[in-house]
Amino acid sequence: MVVGDFATEVDVLVVGGGPGGYVAAIRAAQLGKKVTLVDKAELGGVCLNRGCIPSKALIHAADEVNKMKNASHMGIEVDGVKLDFPKTIQWKDQVVKKLTGGVGQLLKGNKVEVVQGEVYFSGENTVKVATEDNSTTYQFEHCILATGSRPTQIPSLPFDGEKIISSTEALNLQAVPEKLIVVGGGYIGLELGTAYAKLGAEVTILEGTDSLLPGTDPGMVRMVKRNLKKLGVDVVTNAMVQGADTSGNGVTVTAEVKGEEKTFSADKVLVSVGRTPNTDELGLEHAGIELDGRFVPTDKQMRTKNERIFAIGDIAGQPMLAHKASYEGKVAAEAIAGEPSEVDYRAMPYVIFSDPELAYTGLTEQEAKEQGYDVSVSRFSFAANGRALSLDAADGYFQVVADKETKQIIGAQIVGPEASSLISEVVLAIEMGANAEDIALTIHAHPSLPETFMEAAEGIVGNAIHMVNK
């Protein structure tokens, strides 16, 4: 508390309690620092409360419904699958509550002071924290900014929280809409659109570019598009939204599609066109921090222009990923403690919980060639993997990209079951400098999905057993 003109002094002030902020706070405390974490909302940030975790819970529930509806070919006949959607949302909320409660306990166990309030910089090493009761000045030796991001709003479709919604509202609906329009074919819109299609909604995705998941390998996207078609999802590309009419019972969206004006009607419109960094309304200019667009420029230790202040996660630039934020939080905390930590994004995993799942890391074949590599590429199909077949999930492949001469693994792309889990072995391989022979000589359990990595690696070496060598 402020006593007269005196400020509360802390070693490290962390602004934001999401996957970047709370991890940074705990790591700084482990390194002997006196840490205060300030967040204006719930611990866990968007990821735990309104993003990664609740969306994956909803996606899992949708997958379970879809499996039951489509299990007759395995001899499983389900007579009338009934969905109690409010109960599904209640279960999703319980998952979130367990995790956010756990974060609170971890912070407490590491003696991190947690303050609920809003931060505004008043100087190069001071902030004012406004709580419900008062305003307190803090003076810090170092500060870690981890304020995250929010759904981007477009002028032609302003959020109203009822008919035109963001991902936040989409995760808290109390009924599955009969018709849902998703504006934006990126990973968030695709994941939630697919989930609601499996739950029974008639879904239309409007994407402004010429393909879903812009920037993702087209070969991977093709398999996703094929399954969307099976689900009855209508994908409209090159669709530039002009506006919406919400005057009736539902909402009608007008879009220009390849030069022609078209209208699309639904009960709800989910706008998912990206996320905006929360760098405004912080008074960063008073701390001597200049923005690059909406992002905070940093060095390899996540240090900003003001050497006392570090920035991590979504506000520090693309990609906006929770695991990137956590990783950067640890680097920043260790740099503050004087350790020689710095970021290395060479093996950053990217995961999309589509159907089938997509995951990739390192370089694609094209990127490797552009960087001067003479590449060797090996692809193993899940259709030849016993575990995938027994899971009734044989769509997709595991592709490995390696340097032709050294056989060192430099990238991988996975489309198929549990791609989100399988990618971790590749990340470890790249991080440790493993080559394809290292993976091929590693005994993998049978039958298991990770065998596909071993088989693809054997293809690089030239001694594949369960596929014909090139």
Q: Cite the annotated binding site for NAD(+) by residue number.
A: 184-191, 207, 274
List of residues 6+ apart from 282 with CB closer than 8 A? 15, 119, 120, 121, 145, 147
**Other residues' Cβ atoms within 10 Å of the Cβ of residue 39:** 24
Alpha carbons 330 and 341: distance in angstroms, whole number: 9
Which tokens is 442 given?
Answer: 């590693």
**Is 446 designated active site?**
yes
Residues listed for the chain: 470
Q: Give me the residue label for tokens 């909803």.
A: 58
Helix ranges (H only) for 337-410 are 365-370, 386-390
**Other residues' Cβ atoms within 10 Å of the Cβ of residue 176:** 20
Alpha carbons 93 and 55: distance in angstroms, whole number: 11
Alpha carbons 231 and 234: distance in angstroms, whole number: 9
CA dihedral for 445, 446, 447, 449, sign (positive or negative):
positive
DSSP state of 466: S
* Region for 418 from its dihedrals, namely left if φ exceeds 0, alpha if ψ lies in -120 to 50, beta otherwise: left
Alpha carbons 39 and 18: distance in angstroms, whole number: 9
Helix ranges (H only) for 300-435 are 322-336, 365-370, 386-390, 419-431
Annotated binding site for FAD: 56, 147-149, 314, 320-323
What is the signed CA dihedral for 54, 56, 57, 62, rounded to 10 degrees? Answer: 130
Which residue from 347, 401, 397, 338 is spatially nearest to 374, judged by alpha carbons? 401
Annotated binding site: 56, 147-149, 184-191, 207, 274, 314, 320-323
Cβ atoms of 103 and 43 within 8 Å: the answer is: yes
Alpha carbons 191 and 356: distance in angstroms, whole number: 11
Active site residues: 446
